[in-house]
Structure 1
Amino acid sequence: MGRGGRGAAVFDDGVLTFTSPFAEANGEDRSRQRPRAKAFRRVMTPPEARLWQWLRARRFRGLKFRRQHPVGPYILDFHCAEAKLAIEVDGAVHDGAEQAEHDRRRTAWLSGRGVRVIRLRATAVRDDLGGVLDFGGSTHQDQGVAAVRGSAASPKVPGPGFRRDARSCLA
């Protein structure tokens, strides 16, 4: 099935599914993640839909974002592979201790694979999208991705609802 090993073909409930030999090692279960991601794309929250209008079709700094994109065991709200960047829109449910711990583990897993996570408050996307995009552009530039795409943005002060994954930036 590709370089480095053989994939497995599984016939389950009338559906033939192929798995990568690396999927299990990376915590991926593509047979479940893809349908879930597709369902999430159909019913985006209003803040996600609003942000998507600015991220889609390379409208933000010329970067290609995918929405509700599976990466390993997780489905990311927005993912840019070339910048190794994930943008998550967090509602009030992410304020709870249990969800905060899950978010921390998820961010650590993604960071271990070189993906930087930026978390946005849903209220900030709803109320101050311009501020969110300005700071997102400066964060994107901080990573050196702007040099890759040839864009230049002046760093701005973040809006009140924008936060990088604060739990991972405390170090």
Structure 2
Amino acid sequence: MELTPLARKLRREMTEAERLLWYHLRNRRLAGFKFRRQVPIGPYIVDFLCPEKRVIVEIDGGQHNFPDERSRDLERTRFLESKGYKVLRFWNNEVLGNPEGVLSVILEACQGSSSTP
């Protein structure tokens, strides 16, 4: 299945938490790090990616709290980590309620990550 059209659709239909985080990540606003949104990697589309540092940021809604979804999320995270990415996961309410804290964790991950897998 071609993921690019779906990624484009997801870029147009971001959640409130994704929009808020994207505002702070776009145009190198976070310490000069470049981020892309809704990026296909293997069979998945990740919410945000800092390609230079291989850091992925995923924003999870309430549906991710169900056992089946948690299992799929774990499988997804393992796949991405096996490809050399560092995966950060945040709940929607974390992003909306404490964006500064979330950005601090993302910045720390980017500053501490190497660019090679």
Q: TM-score, normalised by structure 1?
A: 0.64
> Which has a greater percent of helix?
2
Aligned to 2:113: 143
Q: CA RMSD in A?
A: 1.2
Does 132-141 or 108-117 show the bigger shift?
A: 132-141
Indicate the percent of aligned positions where both proteins have the same amino acid.
Answer: 38
Q: Secondary structure of the residue that 2:3 maps to in structure 1?
A: helix
Q: Secondary structure of the residue that 2:40 maps to in structure 1?
A: strand
Aligned to 2:55: 85
Q: 1:97 aligns with which of 67, 81, 85?
A: 67
Provide the C-alpha distance between the structure 2 equivalents of 1:107 and 1:134, rounded to a whole number of angstroms. Answer: 21
Give unmatched runs, 5+ long, in structure 2.
none
Deviation by residue 1:104-135 (Cα, 9 ceiling, x = unmatched)? 11111111110110001110111110111122
Provide the C-alpha distance between the structure 1 equivalents of 2:48 and 2:59, rounded to a whole number of angstroms. Answer: 9
Deviation by residue 1:126-158 (Cα, 9 ceiling, x = unmatched)? 11101111222223223257xxxxxxxxxxxxx
Provide the C-alpha distance between the structure 1 equivalents of 2:100 and 2:31, rounded to a whole number of angstroms. Answer: 14
Give unmatched runs, 5+ long, in structure 1.
1-28, 146-171
Q: TM-score, normalised by structure 2?
A: 0.92
Aligned to 1:76: 46
CA apart distance, 1:62: 1.0
Does 127-136 or 45-54 show the bigger shift?
A: 127-136
Aligned to 1:44: 14
Runs of 4+ off more than 4 Å: none
Aligned to 1:129: 99
Select the structure of larger CA radius of gyration: 1
Provide the C-alpha distance between the structure 2 equivalents of 1:73 and 1:144, rounded to a whole number of angstroms. Answer: 24
Amino acid at match of 1:105: E
Deviation by residue 1:6-57 (Cα, 9 ceiling, x = unmatched)? xxxxxxxxxxxxxxxxxxxxxxx4xx20000000001000000000000001
Q: Secondary structure of the residue that 1:41 maps to in structure 2?
A: helix
Structure with more contact order per residue of length (Cα contacts < 8 Å, sep ≥ 6): 2
Amino acid at match of 1:96: F
Aligned to 1:18: none
